[in-house]
Structure 1
Amino acid sequence: MSKALSHKSNLQVLYEDNHIIIVNKRAGDIVQGDKTGDKPLSNVVKEYIKDKYNKPGNVYLGVVHRLDRPTTGIVLFSKTSKALPRLNKLFAEKKAKKTYWALVKNIPPKASERLVHWLKKNPKNNKSTAYNKEVEGSKKAILTYKLIKKLDNFYLLEINLETGRHHQIRCQLSKIGCPIKGDLKYGFDRSNKDASISLHAKRLEFVHPVKKESLSITAPLPKNTLWQACEV
């Protein structure tokens, strides 16, 4: 998987201006540094900016949100200290619309549905459990999904988040009997060859924190046969 990881030379930039930069994350990239010590995507973006603009010294970059390591798709960073708190506020107030695509093996109970669960995170195994009713230490999790395409052996779902909980999409889809392809942690029977899971942050819609213009950014799907069959 390491061969596919982002490097400043292969970074897929979807949008960039003076205040923000949006990239298409590869499976295996971590957005911020963690206990593994692996080089995070945030450092790759800093190197890209430093080289592109011949910046001396340290490059400022603010992490606005994250994606799980095995997922792919849109990640937004702030290039200025002016934009970061505005973006943080935008996300906190749920004014950024995030749309995901997921491949699942089992057909969902309904063609479209709004799922409401209570998620409780276990830090020991870095996994969340979904409950139908509130339990101690749980947080309310809401998403909507719709079935948008049937493939030979899988179903393509489009998901919109109303809340942002730990492993929310993975956990909630597993709860209704639809674990995401490759997601061993949440009940899929085998891993993907590249250790990814078939969850892609497809689109991000928000108002630019400085220019006040509406932006809608779409991330191309991973270049493998199954994902490419999902183009609709």
Structure 2
Amino acid sequence: MTEKILSHKSNLQVIYEDNHIIVVNKRAGDIVQGDKTGDQPLSDIVKAYIKIKYNKPGNVYLGTVHRLDRPTTGLVIFSKTSKALPRLNKLFVSKNISKTYWAVVKNEPPKTEDTLIHWLKKNPKNNKSRAYIKEVDQSKKAILHYKILRKLDHYFLLEINLETGRHHQIRSQLSSIGCPIKGDLKYGFDRSNKDASIHLHARQIQFTHPVSKKELNIIAPLPKDAIWEACTN
């Protein structure tokens, strides 16, 4: 078990850390919290990192504030104290936190920049959300703003800002306008990525620190592959 923890710890990319919060750059394939797969969740890996780094005896406190889909990469915030957790939760509920994503999509969107408004309905059987133009039974309103940042050789890089946080929101809404995310077989891309990732990255988070009140602007480095590298070269 110790070897497993140390292996995960060495692969953990901590972007920001203080006494109350820790922000990590999630890798594709990591799950934020435990699920039916039984795979070790990122929350356990972060706990192990804290326990070893600070030589903490006993159990380590860690609060999960939000999640990212398993194939998605990028910033995930955890709370290190019970004082910070409810305050972080309130930031998300009140939408006083700015989350920016980057996505590489197959086709050019209809507009250079736009606001997408749909009603998403989750199907638990296939763990997929379908986007509707009008409200349907048991659907939830989903709003995002996108703009094209760059045209690549075969793809388009989009910047996305969320107003709502729905199940598979970005994946479903972009697919509904004919722009599936690279590697996202579930939402219409024609082939998977070799590492089972999708080219969706939680790139930037801006918020007021729940305890110190300091303004934080945190950016996650991109995964290392040729497509992401082309986005910044």
TM-score, scaled to structure 2: 0.97
More helix by share: 2
Alpha-carbon deviations, 1:25-60, whole Å to 9, x = none? Answer: 000000000000000000000000000000000000
Alpha-carbon deviations, 1:141-198, whole Å to 9, x = none? Answer: 0000000000000000000000000000000000000000000000000000100000
How many residues align? The count is: 227
Gaps of 5+ in 2: 1-6
Q: Distance in 2 between matches of 1:108 and 1:9?
A: 39
What does residue range 16-165 of structure 1 map to in structure 2 within 5 Å? 16-165=17-166
Q: Distance in 1 between matches of 2:99 and 2:232?
A: 18
Gaps of 5+ in 1: 1-5
Alpha-carbon deviations, 1:187-218, whole Å to 9, x = none? Answer: 00000010000000000000000000110000
1:222 aligns with 2:223: yes
Q: Distance in 1 between matches of 2:129 and 2:90?
A: 25
Alpha-carbon deviations, 1:102-159, whole Å to 9, x = none? Answer: 0001000000000000000000100000000000000000000000000000000000
- Which residue number in structure 1 is paired with residue 14 of structure 2? 13
Q: Distance in 1 between matches of 2:11 and 2:33?
A: 18
Q: Distance in 1 between matches of 2:40 and 2:101?
A: 25
Give the letter for the 1:128 counterpart: S
Give the letter for the 2:35 counterpart: D
- SS of 2:10's partner is coil
- SS of 2:11's partner is coil
Give the letter for the 1:188 counterpart: F
- SS of 2:9's partner is coil
Runs of 4+ residues over 6 Å off in structure 1:
none
